[in-house]
Amino acid sequence: MAAHTLADWLELLESRSPESHIDLGLDRVLRVLNRLGPALGDRPVITVGGTNGKGSVVAYLEQMALASGYRTFAYSSPHLLSFGERMRLDGHPAEDGQIVAALEQVESAREDVLLTYFEHVTLAGLALAAGSPCDILLLEVGLGGRLDAVNAVDPDVSVITSIALDHAAWLGRTRLAVGREKAGIARSGKPLIVGEKKLPSGLMAVLQEGGAELFLAGRDFRWRNGRESFILATSVSRRKFPAPALAGKWQQANAACAVMAIEALGDRLFIDHEALCRGISSVRLPGRFQRIGHSPEIIVDVAHNPAAARCLAAALGHAEGPSTAVFSALNDKDISGIVKPLDGCFDHWLVAPLSGTRGLPGEEISGMLARAAVTGSVETVESVPEALRCALERSGDHGRVVVFGSFHTVAAAAPLLQTLE
């Protein structure tokens, strides 16, 4: 099929290799990248990996750089509302025409190489970055790290936000196995910021063998949470920063990692304390413990693994009125592990299916919740928007509605949520 619009291109890529198809490896990407030859020049590159918090750290880095007058290119995935969110120029989603031109560049360069959906899109992002006047390139790992398409580019600084079990079929079933994969984004002699305080046994040896210059949370930098600010301490300084604009105590850890990454660049990119503060306090990132309304209270969160669910449960606290979950998740997720930390947070669970090859029927998800013995009623609803409508009707002014379980869950609810903002 001929591809002219962005929608055409995404349909074409999906027909060749569905977005859900994962085939980790760098050989294909490197072959096409060498042909494509995007001249990234000497612009500094920060690559961010980790189980949770990657997108937030990229957003902090982006806003810190912009607050200091630098121009930025950020690559992240997945998106919530528009595909352009994956390729941001100076904080703004790329235009469809820019993305199409980059996709066409990759198509011309790939020749006989069969790329996955994510590989083609990642290479397009790099081509777009090469042609932009950005001062810094920020890359978010899609899956794992060592074999992720993003890792075809050598970073000047790497960040690992957290290490928890997720994507076990590809990354392994132990935290050490997951950590090994994520550590693959580090480069010998270059700074590696690690925000995970409790490293799995054996990972320190892996990190040391890799030869990166390590900056470890709890050893080389520490943060102390406060309500309106937080303190970041290193061996040479102790500084106060404003509370992050993104809600959730875990965001102070993400902001701390971003500050450490910027400073690890040294004189490659100078951002003073005031700009760091402005960046931390100005970040906006939909779907990260985001409050939409107050009567009833509406919270959306892209939590899609047990570690993120535990953070969400801690942040929710006690509800004054009835609390309702609008929940769905993909078929490769640990659904029992996601819902168990949240048991007791909800009086009602409204469960809906998600479209696409990775979606599950609502009845199947409800069965998993029943086997997990969650407290509160469980009801299957035909779609996420319908589940949200039901939740709002039943909650009254003093209730709480929480939409979570996947980026796809929040995206499906977004059109209705936008009418409530």
* pLDDT digit string (tens) for the chain, length 421 residues: 567 899 999 999 999 999 888 899 999 999 999 999 877 888 999 999 999 999 999 999 999 999 999 999 999 999 988 999 999 999 999 999 999 999 999 999 999 999 999 999 999 999 999 999 999 999 999 999 999 999 999 999 999 999 988 777 778 889 999 999 999 999 999 999 999 999 999 999 999 999 999 999 999 999 998 778 999 999 889 999 999 999 888 999 999 999 999 999 999 999 999 999 999 999 999 899 999 878 899 999 999 999 999 999 999 987 888 999 999 999 889 999 999 999 889 999 999 999 888 889 999 999 999 999 898 999 999 999 999 999 999 998 889 999 999 999 999 999 998 887 6
User: What domain range is 71 assigned to?
Assistant: 6-282
pLDDT of residue 130: 93
- pLDDT for 105: 95
201 and 313 together in one domain: no
Task: Work out how many domains the chain is built from and give that number.
Answer: 2
Whether 111 and 40 map to the same domain: the answer is yes
Bridge pairing between strands 191-194 and 323-327 = unpaired
The pLDDT score that the predictor gives to residue 397 is 86
Do residues 311 and 230 both lie within one domain? no
DSSP-assigned letter for residue 241:
E
Question: Do 237 and 207 lie in a common domain?
Answer: yes
- Whether 181 is in a domain gets the answer yes
Based on the fold, state whether residues 246 and 359 are members of the same structural domain.
no
Report the distance separating Cα 93 and Cα 153, nearest Å: 22
Residues 389 and 272 in one domain: no
216 and 96 share one domain? yes
| CATH of residue 183 | 3.40.1190.10
Give the contacts of 238 (CB within 8 A, at least 6 positions apart): 231, 232
Kindly state whether residues 220 and 144 are assigned to the same domain: yes
pLDDT at 421: 63
CB 59 within 8 A of CB 290: no
Domain boundary among 251, 282, 313: 282
Q: Which of 236, 251, 282 is the last residue of a domain?
A: 282
Q: Which two tokens stand for residue 185?
A: 């984004």
Within a domain: 1: no
Amino acid 39: pLDDT? 73
Instruction: Give the domain-ending residue among 249, 264, 282.
Output: 282
Q: Which amino acid is at 337?
A: G
Q: Can you give the pLDDT at residue 1?
A: 57
pLDDT digits (tens, 9 = 90+) for 295-331: 899 999 999 999 999 999 999 987 888 999 999 999 8
Q: Are residues 40 and 174 in the same domain?
A: yes
Q: Is 326 helix (H, G, I), strand (E, B) or coil?
A: strand
What is the reported pLDDT for 320?
81
Q: What length is written for the chain?
A: 421
Q: Tell me, what CATH number does 347's domain have?
A: 3.90.190.20
Buried-exposed string 41-52: b where 16+ CB fall within 10 A, e elsewhere: eebbbbbbbbbb
98 and 194 assigned to the same domain: yes
CA angle 367, 81, 185 (to 5 degrees): 85
The pLDDT, as a whole number, for residue 264 is 97
Say if CB 404 and CB 390 are below 8 A apart: no
